[in-house]
Amino acid sequence: MAFKVDITDLFNILNILLQGMEQIVTQLIDHIEAFRPKLQLLCQHLSAGNLAHDPSLREVKQLKQRLPEYAALFRNLDQEFGGLLERWR
């Protein structure tokens, strides 16, 4: 559950950026492109057992053996966003 809280926070931030008034499509794409490195960083950190960017996981002291699973989810999200950006181009 803690992982879901952390990832929902990330998506809420992206959602707010995408809802900004009077943005053109290229600005929206820029927001998504800027989001991808965040996903990649989180994936790397989770793979290394670093919970610096996951306050909810850190707070509940989530089991370390689940971290590779969570890292894989971030990796999959990054690939999905990459595919989305490719389809838009």
pLDDT (tens digit, 9 = 90+) per residue, 40-72?
988 888 888 777 777 777 676 656 677 788 888
- Mean pLDDT for the chain? 83
- Residue 19 in 3-state DSSP? coil
Write down the pLDDT at residue 16: 93
Ramachandran angles phi, psi of 35, nearest 5°: -75, -30
CA–chain centroid gap for 42, Å, is: 7
Ranges of H-type helices in the chain: 2-18, 25-47, 55-60, 67-88
Write down the pLDDT at residue 17: 92
Residue 59 near residue 2, CB atoms below 8 Å: yes
Q: What band does 37 get if pLDDT is binned at 50, 70 and 90? A: very high
- Residue 21 in 3-state DSSP? coil
Write down the pLDDT at residue 3: 74
